[in-house]
A and B are shown apart, each in its own frame.
Chain A
């Protein structure tokens, strides 16, 4: 199985701050990487697919990047509504695997 190592596990940041979350894949997964946001009490929502493509309706302050087998999600200016848990997911090969999640809180 492909392992997705996500960091940090938790993050406390201030409004307007730049936030970066990373996922390291245990092997090459190409661009088969997605990012999801889960707000408290809600279902996960797709933010980024194909490692770098912004999903419909997602604010442009969110962006995804790739360097080899390391993938990053960046929030350029943190807003209150961005609080929640963020997950990466690889869909390169079954079993698809999620990162452990990053809990993002306001400082």
Chain B
């Protein structure tokens, strides 16, 4: 059974950094592109970016490119999202997803940016 489990969220202050993780199981992690998507409290979905199966290539939403970094550790079947200089508008539920069709999603992890 394919499982994606995100962690690392919580309450953070504006300007801080945060690293989210997504542990994958039930499939060969190193065979798939992976993505991060976020959903605002108002239910707007926003694509953050994706990473090639071997970690050699990444794409980002232009508005987030300078503050967010996606990486992966195929040996640990883990996807990461490094968030820096977070802002109130980064408050959202963050999901990791698998492959180009986004055929599997994690349960999501909430990030709240507030002082």
Q: Residues of A with Cβ closer than 8 Å to B? A: 1, 34, 36, 43-46, 49-50, 55, 85, 87, 89, 91, 94-98, 100-101
Contact = CB atoms under 8 A, between A and B. Distances in A.
Contact of B102 (A46, A85, A100): A46
A13 B61 CA distance: 35
B46 A45 contact: no
A46 B100 CA distance: 11
A44 B44 CA distance: 12
Interface stretch (B13-21, B22-30, B77-85, B104-112): B104-112
Contact of B47 (A36, A50, A97): A97
B43 A98 contact: no
A43 B47 contact: no
7 contacts: A34-B102, A46-B101, A46-B102, A94-B59, A95-B60, A95-B61, A95-B62
Contact of A43 (B43, B49, B95): B95
Of A95, A97, A100, chain B has the most CB atoms within 10 Å of the CB of A95
Q: How many B residues are at the interface, by size bracket? A: 20 to 34
Contacts of B95: 43-44
A1 B60 CA distance: 12
Given A44-B105, A45-B105, A87 B45 contact: yes
Contacts of B35: 96
A105 to B, nearest CB: 14
Interface in B66-115: 95, 100-108
Given A43-B106, A46-B103, A95 B44 contact: no
Interface string B27-61: 00000000100000001111101100000000111
